[in-house]
Amino acid sequence: MEPLDADRDPRVLGPFELLARLGAGGMGVAYLARRIPLDDPADELAAMYRLVEPDEAVDTAEPRLAVVKTIQQHLLDQPGARERFAREIDSVRAVVSDRVPALRAADTEAAEPWFAMDFVHGPPLSTLVEGAGVLPVGPYAALGLHLADALRAIHGTGLLHRDLKPDNVVLGPDGPVVLDFGLATLIERRTSQMVTGPGEAWGTRRYMSYEQLRDFRRTREPTDVYGLGATLFFASTGRAPYAHEPLLTPPDWQGVDAALRPLLAQILVPAPERRPDLDGVEMGLRAILHEAALTEERAFEELRVWVREAALAPELPPEALSGRVDPAVRERAQRAVDEGDAPDRPWAGAGDGHDPESPWGGSAGFFGIVDAEEPEPVEPDALRPGTPPGYTPTVVDEPAAEPARPAAPAEPPPAAAPTSYPLPAPRPTEEPPPGVPRTVRRVAERLRKTYAHSGKL
């Protein structure tokens, strides 16, 4: 967790005040944030930002903290990408579990789209093991049962995680929570367009399954079972099953407790059809508890005590512990909602979305944790052999406007440059009636798009 950088980080995104930077990478930036109560009517604000938390719940002495994650605009440049992302946000919201942070809000139409999820205050599993040592049998089995619950909730909505690893498991006050499962569907869209060669995948190679490394798009639930096994292997040894990437040979079992080997040996196999399902994993973990003469309740309590006594939760900034909001920050957030992107995205400007003259600078990032093994994105031009550099088939450049000549009659507008396929005729734009709030306009536009596709409007 790092302080905000005034040269590159915003202070406000939608109705959220950003308090600290949690991490950055190729996908976007993750921030610690808190909700700001605003003056807009609750229903309009909720519809605009897909909020699921009423204003009265945030106007308290102890604000609920959130993680606000941005997504770089270039990842959503493909036609229809924003609409898909909006649907994927709704899919993520459908995952309801104590083992998964709840999605609280999103703005899929912003210059740099973002979404907000509950913040879990605790150390990642990687930090816990490095600081307090490998887990004893009771906490180990309790961790595995909680992670199986999380995967069951994710799979129940038709999603996959595909990047389960120690860094994506946080040990919060109420038990382990799995992070970044919402990354899967967005990455799937991206890789289906950009990853063209065999052996390329998205995830963390040391914790991914063999089939994920070979054919990312065809992976199914057994891949997440492997990630669960690899994460439990780390919890018992402090290392990944393989040093670099999954192999066809068994992992090095040195240092693995003999009571844990049978279950891990069933999970960490190259063939996905030979792995147990989540029910089988849970049965194996309960068998481990039975052999250790422990109940599940006792194991869960031992895990809570282990985490609490380790005292490795990150230190929060002072603002996160106070219910007071700086009036200037609240005013900025109110302007962002009332007026549009300008106050909300103060660095947006100059063509590429980054204004070098702005004191806010630019932005890049990820969903929270830097992954050095992230594949380099392939430029869209590379997907079309023979395509000239810079070619954009769906956008027509408009010629620069000439100075007005009052004495000469108006000339007809120049014809659009030819494209690779006919473009639809431009639709007339209608100016909204004066005085209509921005929230109402955006909600009405979203409803119009939804019903236009259903044929009911």
Instruction: State pLDDT tens for residues 40-69.
Output: 655 666 666 667 665 455 555 556 899 998
User: Mean pLDDT throughout 134-158?
Assistant: 96
Cα dihedral sign for 247, 253, 256, 258? positive
CB-based contacts of 269, cutoff 8 Å, min separation 6:
275
Task: Name which of 33-47, 147-161, 227-241, 384-398 the model is least confident about.
Answer: 384-398
Closest CA to 360 of 68, 4, 1: 4
- Among 21-30, 179-188, 219-228, the least confident range: 179-188
Mean pLDDT, the chain, as a whole number?
74
pLDDT of residue 338: 72
When pLDDT is averaged across residues 350-356 and rounded to a whole number, the result is: 34
Q: What is the CA radius of gyration of the chain?
A: 25
Kindly report which listed range (62-71, 92-101, 180-189) carries the lowest average pLDDT score.
Answer: 180-189
Between residues 136 and 407, which one has the greater pLDDT?
A: 136
Which of 356, 353, 292 has the alpha carbon at shortest distance from 138? Answer: 292
Q: How far apart are CA 307 and CA 239, in angstroms?
A: 19
**Local confidence band at 442 (pLDDT 50, 70, 90 cut-offs):** low
**DSSP element (H, E) containing 298:** helix 296-310
User: What is the residue whose two structure tokens read 């609240």?
Assistant: 330
- Mean pLDDT calculated for residue range 171-184: 82
Better-predicted residue by pLDDT, 322 or 127: 127
The pLDDT score that the predictor gives to residue 311 is 96
What structural domains and CATH numbers belong to the chain? 12-121+315-353 (3.30.200.20), 125-310 (1.10.510.10)
Q: Where are the alpha helices (DSSP H) in 1-136?
A: 42-49, 81-93, 125-132
Contacts of 26 (CB under 8 A, 6+ apart): 72, 364, 365, 366, 371, 374, 377
404-427: pLDDT as tens digits: 555 555 555 444 444 333 334 444
The answer to whether the beta carbons of residues 285 and 148 sit under 8 Å apart is: yes
- What is the per-residue pLDDT across 193-246, written as a single tens digit (0 to 9) for each? 433 344 445 678 999 999 998 887 788 999 999 999 999 999 999 999 999 999
Place of tokens 């190729």: 26
Q: For residue 20, give the H/E element and its range.
A: strand 16-24
What is the rounded average pLDDT of the residues 275-293? 98
Residue 120 pLDDT greater than 60, yes or no: yes
Alpha helices in 319-437 (DSSP H): 327-339, 341-344, 350-353
Strand partners, 32: 20, 67
Assess whether pLDDT exceeds 50 at residue 429: no
Let me know the angle formed at the C-alpha of 386 by 381 and 390, rounded to the nearest 5 degrees.
35
Hunting for tokens 């031992």 — which residue is that? Answer: 302
List residues bridging with 12 in a β-sheet. 17
- Interval 306-310 mean pLDDT: 97
Q: pLDDT at position 191, please?
A: 45
Q: Is the pTM of this model over 0.95?
A: no
Exactly one of 9, 40, 107, 163 is catalytic; which is it? 163
Cα-to-chain-centroid distance, residue 395 = 29
According to the model, what pLDDT value does residue 412 have? 52
Residue 399, pLDDT > 50, answer no
Residues 6+ apart with CB under 8 A from 292: 137, 138, 141, 259
pLDDT digits (tens, 9 = 90+) for 15-25: 899 999 998 87
pLDDT band at 368 (very low <50, low <70, confident <90, very high): very low
Residue 281, pLDDT > 70, answer: yes
More confidently predicted of 398 and 104 = 104
Percent of the chain predicted with pLDDT > 70: 64
Residue type, 167: D
Q: Range with the lowest mean pLDDT among 44-48, 266-270, 321-325, 370-374?
A: 370-374
Tell me whether residue 118 is one of the annotated catalytic residues. Answer: no
Gap between the Cα atoms of 66 and 302, Å rounded? 28
Q: Name residue 366's amino acid.
A: F
Q: How high is the pLDDT of residue 448?
A: 56
**77 against 189, higher pLDDT:** 77
Taking alpha carbons only, the member of 100, 237, 228, 108 closest to residue 172 is 100
Q: Which of 172, 31, 180 is nearest to 98 (CA)?
A: 172
Q: What is the pLDDT of residue 407?
A: 53
* Region 27-40 average pLDDT: 84
Alpha-carbon distance values, 57 to 31, 75, 297, 331 (Å): 21, 34, 32, 20
| Pairing verdict, β 16-24 and 29-35 | antiparallel
Task: Yes or no: say if 225 and 275 are a contact pair by the CB < 8 Å rule.
Answer: yes
Residue 11 DSSP one-character state = S
The segment with the largest mean pLDDT, out of 19-28, 183-192, 428-437, is 19-28
- Under a CB-based contact definition with an 8 Å cutoff, are residues 312 and 131 in contact? yes
What CA–CA distance (Å, rounded) separates 95 from 101?
Answer: 9
In angstroms, rounded to a whole number, what is the distance separating the alpha carbons of residues 167 and 325?
31
Residue 96 has pLDDT above 80, yes or no: yes
pLDDT at residue number 133: 97
Minimum mean pLDDT among 97-106, 147-156, 271-280, 346-355: which range? Answer: 346-355
